[in-house]
Amino acid sequence: MQINPGGRLDTKDVVGRDNEINRYWRVLERQGLVISAERRIGKTHIVLKMRDECRSGYLPFYQDLEAVHSIPDLIRSIYHTVQQSLSASSSLKLKAHIARWSSLLPGKVSGIDLPSGDSTRQVLLSQAFDDLLGIADNEVILLLWDEFPLMLHNLQRRERPDSAIQLLDHLRALRLRHADRLRFLFTGSIGLHLVLRSLRAAGNTNDPVNDMLSLTVPPMAHQDTTDLAAALLEETRAARPHIPDLASRIASEVGGFPYYVHHVVDQLDQLQRPPLLEDVSAAVDKLVYDPHDPANFNYYVNRLSSYYAADEGALALVVLDTVAGLSSPVPIPELLNLCRHRDPSLQDEALREVLTVLAEDHYIEPRKSAAGTTYDFRWQLVKRWWKARRS
């Protein structure tokens, strides 16, 4: 297994996600699915593994929608993705569709700009899905749309909220109309909840994904994290008898976050000697304190100004700065008092609202205790970095 912090892995190297993948397939048997989690938790690799090891009865198409900024871009992406995915097919029916799409692309999709009128674009989007459904016999078309919330965010910024609302409503209508032949799996690191909140603020009262189930990608189990670390350590100078202890220490230090496991093992690999147990802690310290931020922890700060309203982002920073300085989970009344030392004007309801958003966004998580609900960072490694840099 190759050490590859932040890079695209071969799906055969995806470790420890069988339970989640089996759960997602059970959901897709009956309805669409929205999966969310923070950046680099492995959502994309899970979805790609589902595509590459697809269950019988489904015809999957994976699309990364990060670069899609308009409905015409989306329509082009659908045609191009299907054409690329099926180009090696031996099916005469599929080859016939590819040939028709190849002649269609220059004239209707690639050769000229698609019409900009909303009604025309919706017609063309419907036509794209009709074409898509036309290639399957008994299979269910499965669209794996990665970074779907980011596409909606881009659509809002480039056009207007109505465009994102209309797209969401149109996709919901398609799902209901073709409930036995079409499934969507949406995923992304922004969080669809942030986009939907923004749309509600712009006047949209619909719940356009209430027919889909929303799930959060959990951390890897400790044993799976240990197994991943051990497999990666095999590629270093680590002495084989020491690998189990090294792998267990890595899993304990970083939690079930594969991205950080890759980073820590990469640091150990650069030692040019067999790593020792104390080197694991030193490698984690380097991730936390390195001014170049190799693990890109600063993303957690920067995204607050990108996707939160100004006042909400400012309050989120107050909350996170406060929680990062605490050694244990904190109940809401105590957190409110501590935050008021930083911002005396803070209101109870504003704190409760931002706690809800931060929990949905996987910065913090609520925990049950004898003192009631308490809050702490979801990832202790992120908390450690936050305390070192901001508290």
Q: Is 95 a domain residue? A: yes
Q: Identify the domain boundary among 196, 216, 236.
A: 216
Instruction: Note whether 309 and 377 are same-domain residues.
Output: yes
Q: Which amino acid is at 192?
A: L
**pLDDT at residue 321 above 90?**
yes
Burial 153-175 (b: 16+ CB within 10 A, else e): bbbbeebebebbbbbbebbbebb
Q: Is 271 a domain residue? A: yes
Nearest Cα to Cα of residue 377 among 360, 363, 391: 363
Instruction: Note whether 32 and 176 are same-domain residues.
Output: yes
**pLDDT at residue 93 above 70?**
no
Instruction: Note whether 242 and 109 are same-domain residues.
Output: no
Q: Identify the domain boundary among 257, 289, 321.
A: 289
Instruction: Note whether 43 and 99 are same-domain residues.
Output: yes
Cβ neighbours of residue 154 under 8 Å, at least 6 residues apart? 68, 69
Instruction: Note whether 61 and 116 are same-domain residues.
Output: yes
10 Å CB burial of residue 254 (0-12, 13-18, 19+) is: buried
Instruction: Note whether 206 and 167 are same-domain residues.
Output: yes
Q: Is 6 a domain residue? A: no
pLDDT band for 273, please (50, 70, 90 cuts). very high
Instruction: Note whether 337 and 245 are same-domain residues.
Output: no
Going through the chain in order, the beta strands assigned E by DSSP cover 33-36, 58-64, 140-146, 182-188, 213-216, 330-331, 364-369, 372-377
Q: Is 9 a domain residue? A: no
β-pairing, 330-331 vs 372-377, is: antiparallel
Q: Identify the domain boundary among 216, 247, 271.
A: 216
How high is the pLDDT of residue 90?
A: 52
pLDDT, tens digit, 9 for 90 and up, residues 276-316: 999 999 999 999 999 999 999 999 999 998 888 899 999 99
How high is the pLDDT of residue 110?
A: 41
Q: What mean pLDDT comes out for the span 189-197?
A: 80
Instruction: Note whether 199 and 65 are same-domain residues.
Output: yes
* Residue with more model confidence, 298 or 122: 298
Q: What mean pLDDT comes out for the span 375-383?
A: 94
Instruction: Note whether 191 and 156 are same-domain residues.
Output: yes
Separation of alpha carbons 48 and 63, rounded Å: 10
- Rounded to 5°, the CA angle 292-298-299 comes to 125
CATH number at residue 355: 1.10.10.10
CATH number at residue 152: 3.40.50.300
Burial 93-131 (b: 16+ CB within 10 A, else e): ebeebbeebeebeeebbeeeebeeeeeebbebbeebbeb
Q: Is 10 a domain residue? A: no
Instruction: Note whether 327 and 246 are same-domain residues.
Output: no
Domain range for 254 is 222-289
Q: Is 5 a domain residue? A: no
Dihedral of CA 53/54/59/60: which sign? negative
Separation of alpha carbons 32 and 182, rounded Å: 9
Cβ neighbours of residue 179 under 8 Å, at least 6 residues apart? none
3-class secondary structure, 162: helix
Q: Is 210 a domain residue? A: yes
Instruction: Note whether 92 and 144 are same-domain residues.
Output: yes
With beta carbons less than 8 A apart as the criterion, state whether 148 and 192 touch.
yes
Q: Is 294 a domain residue? A: no
Domain count, the chain: 3
DSSP letter (8 states) at residue 225: H
Instruction: Note whether 134 and 99 are same-domain residues.
Output: yes
